[in-house]
Each structure stands twice: as C-alpha cells, then as structure tokens.
Structure 1
Amino acid sequence: PVFPVMAYGITPYFRAFPGTITLRAQTYLSVVRDILDSIRDHGFKRILIVNGHGGNVPAQGLVGEWLADHPGMRIKFHNWWSAPKVW
C-alpha cells in the first residue's frame, strides 16, 4: 500500500511567513519512528520512504539507527531530487 504523506516537517527557516507550521527535529523523528514501528507491527518487511523536503533529511539517519534495531527489515530512503531527470 501507499501511505499518506506527512503534512508537516522540519521548516524553522519559513517561520517568517505567517501560517508556517514547523516541527522540532526531535518531534518529527519521533513521528517517523512511530510510523515505522506501526508499519512493521502490521507485517511489512520492506519500506520505501520518498522524501520531498531537504529539511527532513535527518530522518535518513534515523532510518539507519532504526534498521540496526530491527533485523529483517529493509528500508530505502529516497530524496526525490536525486531521481534521474526524465526530460
């Protein structure tokens, strides 16, 4: 299945713009960890995370730590801007 996107992330540098909502890095990483735990608890063994915001890259380090604690799981963390050009 494809899970919904996370609507919020780490964006403190946009706080000057009214209405900007940002999460502390620790909060964001805790949410990602809880999502990974839930997906694993439902029996999924392979996960693809597609990151669409540079501020959320700290999640990539969390994924490595999480994998060390969960043998048998496979996660690919992909930053969309690293994808090959198609035009």
Structure 2
Amino acid sequence: MKMPAVNECQVDACAYNAEHICHALAITVGNSHHAECETFFKVDVKGGDPAATGRVGACKMSDCQHNVQYECQASGIVVGYAQKDIDCLTYAPA
C-alpha cells in the first residue's frame, strides 16, 4: 500500500513546511478530539527531507470515510487551519 501524499500544507509555521509542501517523511493525523496533524511543531529552523513530499503514516480518526484500519485511503490530503487547530482538511466523517 502506498501512503497518501500531503498534497498541500497551509501551515507555514510548521517546521516541516516549505512553500506549502510538507517535507516530513510521514505524518500522524488525529487525536481523541479532531483530525489534528500531530506531527506539527513550530521552531525557527526548517526540517525534514527537502527532496521528499510528506505522506500520511497513520490516521487515528476511525470515523473518517477514508480510514481503513487506521490507514488513510484518500488519494492525498490537505493540512490547514480548522479554526485555531491544525487539521487534516480532507477528514470526512463516515
């Protein structure tokens, strides 16, 4: 199974974001409250692999229509702001 790509990240402050491209090798989505990007963190220095496009490694949102056994089956996702939270905007409750 190929992990879905993070097609866009709208969170410029993230350490893994460069020009709206996620450079984390894999992100984790979800907690007990919402489809949060748990890989997000803010520091002054950018990180990740500049040649890589981020992928969804795990998704804890079992109620999402794209989730099968905690693996995302969407063709790709967008990460951005849902109010003040940094979430998977592709999340769709089943």
TM tier, smaller: under 0.3
Q: Which has the higher helix share?
A: 1
Give 1 or 2 for the bigger CA radius of gyration.
Answer: 1
Q: Which has the higher strand share?
A: 2
